[in-house]
Amino acid sequence: MNKRLIAGLAVALSLVGASSAAAQTWAPASSATVHPGVQTYTAGGQCTANFIFTDGADIFIGQAAHCSGTGGQTDTDGCQTQSLPNGTPVEVTGASQPGTLAYNSWTAMQNAGETDPDTCAYNDFALIKLNAADYGKVNPSVPTLGGPTGLGDTTATGDDVYSYGNSSLRQGITLLSPKRGISLGAEGGGWTHLVYTVSPGIPGDSGSGFMDADGSAFGVLSTLQIAPVAGSNGVSDLAKMLAYARSHGGPDVTLANGTEPFTGSIIG
């Protein structure tokens, strides 16, 4: 077999591999048990998963970095507060096996010696690699709301925002999980968006995803604010956090779009 034919076969095989990796098959949204909004438990710490991500071969679910932090509730500087290491098992509701903490922005910033105060304060993102045994149970659609339709940009004051929080403090009342609200604008060099929703995020909602009026995913719930509006929330910018992850050793993932259309309705 000549070298040109061997090279051609190698290219063809690589294209087949790339095609099959990109052609992810999702479980039906109506029966999937792993999806945005499920609860995650990291060493007992409870959070809400935001969105589904893939690198073309493996499937990840997102949570906030502080969900695996080892400091107190007021320790929000990711460049100073310690976290559990990558490789830590994470229980994902609806999955048969624990996932694995694959990336944590707080750990990445400390390893990089990050000093920018806005990045340290608001880069609050982690990826959990799901066990392959559970890939057939995953759908990337946000319950009730549908979407996401893609990766979003920044928000302006008055823009509509949507989220799905699933804290156990709601005692399983899922009618309270989908939320609609408004953006109060971006701050911190675009690293954070202040939002006000009805009802506001509560403990256990941390990490939940936020979408704009087009269903584009733009943020991850990070903090509860007392100003400028009591009960507002700080939502860290997803595009910035994904870019930071790619340039600081995180998995090269992309957001998985929902299979269900975004409706903008909080009533199922």
Nearest Cα residue to 60 out of 214, 242, 221: 242
β-bridge pairing 150-151 and 216-224: parallel
3-class DSSP assignment, residue 221? strand
Mean pLDDT of 141-166: 93
What integer pLDDT is reported at residue 266 of this predicted model? 86
Both tokens assigned to 202: 């509560």
Which residues belong to CATH 2.40.10.10 in the chain?
A: 150-237
Residue 229: band (very low, low, confident or very high) from pLDDT cuts 50, 70, 90: low
* CATH fold for the domain made of 150-237: Thrombin, subunit H (2.40.10)
Q: Residue 185 and residue 235: Cα distance in Å, rounded?
A: 10
Give the model confidence (pLDDT) of 98-120 as tens digits.
999 999 999 999 999 999 999 99
Question: Would you call 201 helix, strand, or coil by DSSP?
Answer: coil
Segment 86-98 shows an average pLDDT of 98
Average pLDDT, the chain: 87
pLDDT digits (tens, 9 = 90+) for 28-45: 999 999 999 999 999 988
Q: List the one residue out of 180, 174, 110, 136 whose CA is nearest residue 33.
A: 136
Query: What is the model's pTM?
Result: 0.88
Of 123, 105, 34, 97, the closest CA to residue 68 belongs to: 105
Q: How far apart are CA 15 and CA 195, in angstroms?
A: 43
The pLDDT of residue 199 is 64
pLDDT in tens, 125-134: 999 999 999 9
